[in-house]
Amino acid sequence: MPVPRDLTSYLRKVATFYPVVTVTGPRQSGKTTLCQLTFPRKPYVSLEPLDTRARASSDPRGFLASYPDGAIIDEAQNVPDLFSYLQAEVDTNPKPGRFILTGSQHFGLSARISESLAGRVGVLHLLPPSLDELQRFPNAPTDLFETLWSGSYPPIFDRKIPAARWLADYVTTYIQRDVRQTLNVTDLNAFTTFLRLCAGRTGQEINLSDLGGDAGVSHNTARAWISVLEASFICFRVPAWHRNFKKQLVKAPKLHFFDSGLACHLLGIREPRELVTHPHRGAIFESWVAAEIYKSRVHRGLTPNLSHLRQTRGAEIDLVVERPAEVTLVEAKSGQTIADDFFTGLREIEFRPPPAARRLIYGGDSAHKRSGVEVIPWKDIQKIKWGD
């Protein structure tokens, strides 16, 4: 059963500004369901079936004329020539919110939007559900390690498909379809190895030369492949913080997976209890925290504005969350029992001006404040105001 998504209100708002609104994101994140629930009176058409795609390709004017009041057009990037005709259509009738486009392959949509619909379209991103959204499913996990292991793609909970089965099929589909279409990768085994190596580096600083060397590909190939993973909303890079800080800092970005379940699958973690002693547990939890804050902001129409900070000889901060004229410092610790060293980075880093808040997200259940640091249980991460 579909659950309400946080992006809904912002989607409605943007649809009052532009004649075309595009909702993009990873496959199976719930884009089609969101648009149909938000605009129930609009006709829906998918350009995934070959016969519908052929009709839109052979007669784009006639296809659009079939929807004089607009429509939800799913997988719009499958008919690239349609965008030019859509431009002419909305220039003739620029009524806001006429056409709602969805698509999973971000490269295809971005290219066509920049070519044909610049200034006429609002672009939104729908990621897999945040923890708050996930808990709206009746069978959502309540344990930390089960939550990390299963991830949050809707079909796992909506259709009750076993997480291990669904994620395995998802990886296969993603590699065989999106990667081949985007990069024309011929050595799928090499790309699969690269993808698994990236999962092993989630929550860590990333060096593309080292990553490419481990995967047996060049630096340029590694750079192209990581760009595809980002464009497909598999992972994201968090840049190093650099402003208003005089001490020498590490400049390498950190890599994070959007979905912890996908990272666990790629790392070969086959059941939740393996996470308890797994060497990547802390990194997976850190990436989960980063993704939760990212979702909280993007699903409310805000830019992520995340960075990390590490001095070459000194303290480290997992996440710097930037807001107008202020920052929040965040540390992520998967342990259920608070240790004094959890606070080291938050205490030692000196910001000018001082941060608005210093927060520790941890794997336990008790919320309190210690030495000026807000201690926040993992279950409460979406109760915090991360946006503006």
| Distance between CA atoms of residues 364 and 378, nearest Å | 7
| Residues 283/204, Cβ–Cβ less than 8 Å | yes
- Distance of alpha carbon 75 from alpha carbon 350, whole angstroms: 48
Q: Taking 60 as the threshold, does the pLDDT of residue 244 lie above it? A: no
Model confidence pLDDT, tens digit, residues 218-234: 999 999 889 889 988 99
User: 386 or 165, which is more confident?
Assistant: 165
pLDDT score, position 70: 96
pLDDT for position 247: 58
Q: What gap in Å lies between CA 97 and CA 204, rounded to an integer?
A: 41
Q: Report pLDDT for 22.
A: 93
Q: Are 13 and 7 in contact (CB under 8 A)?
A: no
How large is the average pLDDT for residues 350-372? 89
Distance of alpha carbon 275 from alpha carbon 144, whole angstroms: 10
Parse the chain into domains and list their residue ranges: 8-125, 131-383
Interval 105-124: pLDDT, tens: 665 566 667 677 778 899 99
User: Is 293's pLDDT higher than 70?
Assistant: yes
Question: Is domain 8-125 annotated with CATH 1.10.1740.10?
Answer: no
138-161 pLDDT, tens digit per residue, is 999 999 999 999 999 999 999 889
The percentage of residues in the chain with a pLDDT greater than 70, rounded to a whole number, is 93
Tell me the C-alpha distance between 387 and 271, whole Å.
Answer: 34
Average pLDDT over residues 13-33: 94
